[in-house]
Amino acid sequence: MGQLAEADIAWRSHWLKQALAVEGDVAAPLEGSDRADVCIVGGGYLGLWTALRLKERDPGLDVVILERDICGGGASGRNSGMVLSAWTKFSALAGLSGEADALRLVKQSAEAIDGIDGFCRAHGIDCWFDRAGWIWGATCAAQSGAWDDPLARLARHDYRPARPVSRDEIAALTGTTSHLAGVFDSSAATIHPGFLVRGLRRAALQAGVRIYEKTAMTRFGRRGAPVVETANGRLQAQKLVLAMNARAAAVPELAPALFIISSDDAISTPMPEKLERAGYARGPLMIDSRVFVSGYRVTADHRLLVGVTGGHIGFGGRVDARFDRPSPRIADMRRALGQGHPALADFEVASAWNCAIDRTASGLPLYGALRGNPDILYGYGFSGNGIGMSFLGGQILASLVTGTEDEWSGSALVRPVTRGFPPEPFRFVGAHFVRGAVRRRDRLEHEDRRPGPVTTWLAGLAPSGVTPSKANIAETGQ
Ligand SMILES: Cc1cc2nc3c(=O)[nH]c(=O)nc-3n(C[C@H](O)[C@H](O)[C@H](O)COP(=O)(O)OP(=O)(O)OC[C@H]3O[C@@H](n4cnc5c(N)ncnc54)[C@H](O)[C@@H]3O)c2cc1C
């Protein structure tokens, strides 16, 4: 075990800096040859939950995680910490294998929130879990009712995950009258992403999982027993799990389903009085109904966290240096807050960062085995909604690794990779047009103006994100 150099801490997200100040040890990289029963590439939530589930099922299994950076260095240590179930994606889920399976997945995703809480309590992980609830709101008339489709379809199954809230009720709960309407889901929670991911790492080490950090997989063999190569070593395993998030786009078999775009977050300096005055000292987390959603929440140490989506687009799925730097989108965040909670728009920024998002066309993750090699498994495509979904993903991948036939391996999310987007360079060029149209439509709708037919058509091509928008309800197999 070693410690990170100062320069390797300074650029990181506020969450990770806070977490590393408490638990800053880094595992040694892989040098030379090693063997394991299971090798997991990626030390984010998905890789860690998978490792933990495997150890729970069979403590004797030798499980190794290879992480190119440090565990939590990716999206798991940089997200907004909003833990939501998947009911908003009911239509897309139903598109995979019908409403009965979709309902089961929605219920499992709600149980995942309790599961995270329960695991953290049992393992002494204080990740500031707070069942604050969630308001999915509309900051302009055109957004109003974005939630109608999934709620109406779920109500037919007698499942009601959220209730309508009026403008006045939203104002009473959050201090802002800018949300014209919305729905309130009391099951949602906020967490500290850094404490969660580094806590999971600690739990994994305690369970006997071996971790190599600062160890990038440079290639892997596709024939026979999986062999992973790194700069200074190689590891042979019986099963290989690729839990690489956006960097899955570097694997040719996984790339077709993926579209890479950044999300940006900023966190304020502690401001208890300002939050109190604004009526948002401890309110539900808020997300609007844009295609490129923006959201905000408060933290246990009285900060405001603001997030915006729809930033940089990755050419050919490349996650380059633009996805690992201070956010250049503070103005967009202030604009979104100006439309959602104006009293907070002038927040003092303590830290701002960005990170790549692994979007699929439907906004749903995929799991399965690489074609032609049942020993190489994958999980990716959380599309910005991965805290709760990766908890489920750990169960799914553990069942796939162990060859267990159960509700997890039989999940509708287990499916082959198919092309979700056009090939390059059409994907990159088209994505810029679509992103521009989404932003234009959004601006016009906030000015109570109707976008033209071309803008409407182009914006309608945008893949689903955290929530489906009224105009982009996806019902697609990928
Ligand atoms: C700004 C932002 C805000 C978000 N907000 C929310 C939110 O509020 N709620 C929510 O549910 N979700 C949110 N998300 C999404 C959520 O963070 C992710 O879906 C989730 O963390 C995915 O976990 P993961 O383990 O798949 O990915 P990651 O945490 O990215 O882990 C993948 C790991 O694989 C490693 N890796 C990749 N390639 C290699 C290689 N070749 N060799 C070795 N290691 C490799 C990476 O370094 C990385 O650590 C947000 C994401 C972002 C970027």
Q: What is the DSSP string of 430-441?
A: HHHHHHHHHHHH
Nearest CA to ligand 1 atom 18: 386
All residues at 6 or more sequence positions from 215 whose CB lies less than 8 Å from its CB, including other chains:
29, 30, 66, 67, 68, 230, 231, 233
Nearest CA to ligand 1 atom 2: 79
Ligand 1 closest atom vs CA 74:
30
pLDDT value of position 141: 82
Ligand 1 closest atom vs CA 263:
1
pLDDT value of position 478: 47
Task: Kindly report the length of the chain.
Answer: 478
Site to substitute for ligand 1 among 16, 69, 76, 397, most atoms within 8 A of C-beta: 76
d(CA 402, CA 144): 45
Contact status, residue 266 vs residue 248, Cβ threshold 8 Å: no
- Tokens matching residue 116: 């995270």
Alpha helices, H only, 256-329: 272-277
Residue 425 Cα to ligand 1 middle (Å): 25
Site to substitute for ligand 1 among 79, 240, 392, most atoms within 8 A of C-beta: 79
Phi–psi pair at 304, nearest 5 degrees: -105, 130
Ligand 1 closest atom vs CA 215:
43
Residue 49 Cα to ligand 1 middle (Å): 13
Residue 453 Cα to ligand 1 middle (Å): 36
Mean pLDDT in runs of 10 for the chain (478 residues)? 86 96 94 98 98 98 98 98 96 94 97 98 98 93 88 97 97 94 97 98 98 98 93 97 97 93 96 97 89 89 94 84 91 93 96 94 95 96 96 98 97 93 82 83 85 84 64 43
d(CA 448, CA 139): 11
Residue 44 Cα to ligand 1 middle (Å): 6
Contact status, residue 84 vs residue 90, Cβ threshold 8 Å: no
Residue 289 Cα to ligand 1 middle (Å): 23
Name which of 447, 449, 442, 446 is nearest 471 in CA terms: 442
Residue 140 Cα to ligand 1 middle (Å): 31
Q: What is the DSSP string of 109-157?
A: HHHHHHHHHHHHHHTT-----B---EEEEESSGGGTTTTHHHHHHHHTT
Q: 286 pairs with which residues across the strands?
A: 135, 296
Residue 76 Cα to ligand 1 middle (Å): 4
Ligand 1 closest atom vs CA 358:
19
Nearest CA to ligand 1 atom 15: 384
pLDDT value of position 420: 82
Instruction: Name the strand (E) or helix (H) holding 185.
Output: strand 181-185
pLDDT value of position 464: 64
Contact status, residue 50 vs residue 209, Cβ threshold 8 Å: no
Residue 355 Cα to ligand 1 middle (Å): 8
Q: 254 pairs with which residues across the strands?
A: none
Site to substitute for ligand 1 among 244, 294, 320, most atoms within 8 A of C-beta: 244
pLDDT value of position 473: 42
pLDDT value of position 448: 83
Q: Count the neighbouring beta carbons within 10 Å of the beta carbon of residue 24.
A: 15
Q: What is the DSSP string of 23-46?
A: S-EEPPPP-EEEEEEEEEE--SHH
Contact status, residue 181 vs residue 137, Cβ threshold 8 Å: yes
Nearest CA to ligand 1 atom 10: 385
Residue 180 Cα to ligand 1 middle (Å): 33
Looking at the whole model, is its pTM more than 0.75?
yes
pLDDT value of position 474: 39
Name which of 334, 389, 331 is nearest 357 in CA terms: 389
Ligand 1 closest atom vs CA 45:
25
Question: What are 334-339's contacts with CB under 8 Å, separation 24+?
Answer: 336/288, 336/294, 336/306, 336/308, 337/294, 337/296, 337/306, 339/139, 339/140, 339/178, 339/288, 339/446
Instruction: List ligand 1's pocket residues with C-beta within 6 A.
Output: 41-47, 66-69, 73-76, 78-82, 216-217, 243-245, 247, 263, 265, 307, 355, 357, 382, 384-388, 390
